[in-house]
Amino acid sequence: MNNSESIQKEALARIKPAKQEFSEVDDTIKRINSLLKKNKIEAECVAAGSYAKGTILKDDFDVDLFVRFDYSYKEKDISTLLAKAIAPLKPKLIHGSRDYFHLKKKSILFEIIPVLMIDDYKKAVNVTDMSPLHVFYVKKHYDKNSSLRDEVRLAKQFCKAVRVYGAESYIRGFSGHVLDLLIIYYGGFEKLLVQAAVWGERVIIDIENHLKDPMKELNSAKTESPLIIVDPIQPDRNASAALSKEAFEEFKKKAREFLKKPSKEFFEIKKLDLKAARKKYKDEWLLILSAVPTADSEDIAGTKLLKCHEKIIDELKNYDFKLLEGDWEFEPKKSTLYYAVKKEKLSPTVIWEGPPLKAVPNVEMFRKKHKKTFEKDGRLFAEEKRKYMTPKELVKELMNSAYIKERVKKIKAN
């Protein structure tokens, strides 16, 4: 066994649950099916996601459940029907393209999703109706080769550790479904890394050979991502359309690093180490903020927080502060943002570039706006007193701005 294999074996031992089954899952499925029957609803609750596929990680306590309604319900509001049936469980309603539900039972958070029972993607009324078909496709491959289940566990943990896991808008990384398809296509975790290490700017994968030319046959909006995976179940869909170029490049980079020098650290999920940051930047400006996200879904709340993070970074740069490092960590109850800024003395004034002298109307407007102007090389300039001498002043004002307040519930400096 080489070093890489040893490290993967050790990582798998840490992330693979001792047993796949949880009694709470079986009990919840039985309870929901009982309530459906009681309400005379033709639907069945079944396990979904990584639990159904047998790829769940040890500390993953989020379990998806599909409630599959008979297709005769296609004209009805199945979310409302499900809400009435499972009301005794007191689930939380989550709004989406089709409303679904959250239910916390002991340590497990259930996501209960109403879908129509279909066998062809063309019959789907809502995008979620196709989700069971994706699970069935993946499960069929894993049943043929059970070792692939552990391979995708390693791929998930690797992506989580290098922070490129999840298709949420604030991450735009590799979804669990995309990793399933990549593992099925390449045949294993390390085989995936070997290929990723030499991926070019764009990669096209069509496992079932549905299309002759995916770039021409897929809608242009679906081919903007650097990785194009023709969905095996729905050929007109790019399964990895949400993947950003940044996440794609980061995965390629980490794949090369792991292959060159394997280490268990590639499978370790690290939280922001503020203590280490304070030590590292003890002679610089270090701004640490705590934010309470909005009460929206995690995807929306995380996206709003990302916008705040990007706004702070942009403004720091706009006002001539040298950003050494900036990062953030999303947590539903209390998120963290931090910025290390070079502690250097800025000039008390700043020069603003104005319009060319020949643009007379613009020149007049610029002179009215600025008290002290001067001409140089055929262009007008203005000298103004610098608004912020320290990044703390800027960030304090930003935290009180409408832009930030509209996107987080609360925010304060630590």
Answer whether 232's CB lies under 8 Å from 208's CB: yes
Answer whether 45's CB lies under 8 Å from 92's CB: no
Residue 224 counted as domain residue: yes
Two structure tokens written together for 391: 């990044």
User: Do the strands 285-293 and 335-341 form a parallel or antiparallel pair, or are they unpaired?
Assistant: antiparallel
Based on the domain organization, do 254 and 296 belong to the same domain? no
- Half-sphere exposure of 244 toward its Cβ, with a 13 Å CA cutoff? 14
Answer whether 316's CB lies under 8 Å from 339's CB: yes
Residue 67 counted as domain residue: yes
* CATH at residue 296: 3.30.70.590
End position of a domain, from candidates 128, 163, 190? 128
Based on the domain organization, do 105 and 209 belong to the same domain? no
Q: What is the pLDDT of residue 1?
A: 61
How does pLDDT run across 346-382, given as a tens digit for each residue?
A: 999 999 899 999 999 999 999 999 989 999 999 999 9
How does pLDDT run across 285-326, given as a tens digit for each residue?
A: 999 999 999 988 888 899 999 999 999 999 999 999 999 999
Domain that includes residue 287, residue range: 274-345+389-413
Q: What is the pLDDT of residue 22?
A: 74
| Beta strands, E only, 86-229 | 92-94, 100-105, 108-116, 203-205, 227-229
Q: What is the pLDDT of residue 105?
A: 86
Q: What is the pLDDT of residue 191?
A: 97
For residue 308, CA distances in Å to 155, 164, 167, 204 come to 30, 20, 20, 34
Based on the domain organization, do 117 and 47 belong to the same domain? yes
Two structure tokens written together for 318: 């706009």
* CATH at residue 359: 3.30.70
Based on the domain organization, do 300 and 335 belong to the same domain? yes
Residue 151 counted as domain residue: yes
Residue 138 counted as domain residue: no
Which contacts of 393-396 are long-range, i.e. CB under 8 A and separated by 24 or more positions? 394/315, 394/316, 394/319, 394/321, 395/287, 395/289, 395/312, 395/316, 395/339
Measured between alpha carbons, how far is 319 from 227 in angstroms, rounded to an integer? 36
How does pLDDT run across 28-63, given as a tens digit for each residue?
A: 999 999 999 999 999 999 999 999 999 999 888 889
Based on the domain organization, do 124 and 221 belong to the same domain? no
Closest CA to 308 of 401, 404, 398: 404
Residue 13 counted as domain residue: no
End position of a domain, from candidates 228, 251, 270? 270
Burial of 182 (C-beta count, 10 Å sphere; 0-12/13-18/19+): buried
Q: What is the pLDDT of residue 343?
A: 95
Residue 211 counted as domain residue: yes
Residue 338 counted as domain residue: yes
The arithmetic mean of pLDDT across residues 98-114, rounded, is 92
* CATH at residue 243: 1.10.1410.30
Closest CA to 202 of 192, 214, 190: 214
How does pLDDT run across 318-331, given as a tens digit for each residue?
A: 999 999 999 999 99
pLDDT at residue 278 tops 90: yes
Q: What is the pLDDT of residue 399?
A: 96
Residue 10 counted as domain residue: no
Based on the domain organization, do 157 and 260 belong to the same domain? yes
The region that residue 234 occupies, defined by phi over 0 for left and psi between -120 and 50 for alpha, beta otherwise, is beta
Number of domains within the chain: 4
Based on the domain organization, do 123 and 152 belong to the same domain? no
Based on the domain organization, do 297 and 225 belong to the same domain? no
Based on the domain organization, do 42 and 99 belong to the same domain? yes
Got the DSSP string for 112-139? EEEEE--SSGGG-SSGGGGHHHHHHHHH
Answer whether 111's CB lies under 8 Å from 96's CB: no
Q: What is the pLDDT of residue 95?
A: 87
Closest CA to 329 of 217, 97, 163, 101: 163
Based on the domain organization, do 151 and 255 belong to the same domain? yes
Q: φ and ψ at 5, to 5 degrees?
A: -65, -40
**Residues 283, 286, 162, 57: is their CA dihedral positive or negative?**
positive
Burial of 379 (C-beta count, 10 Å sphere; 0-12/13-18/19+): middle
Based on the domain organization, do 35 and 60 belong to the same domain? yes
End position of a domain, from candidates 245, 270, 295? 270
Based on the domain organization, do 44 and 165 belong to the same domain? no
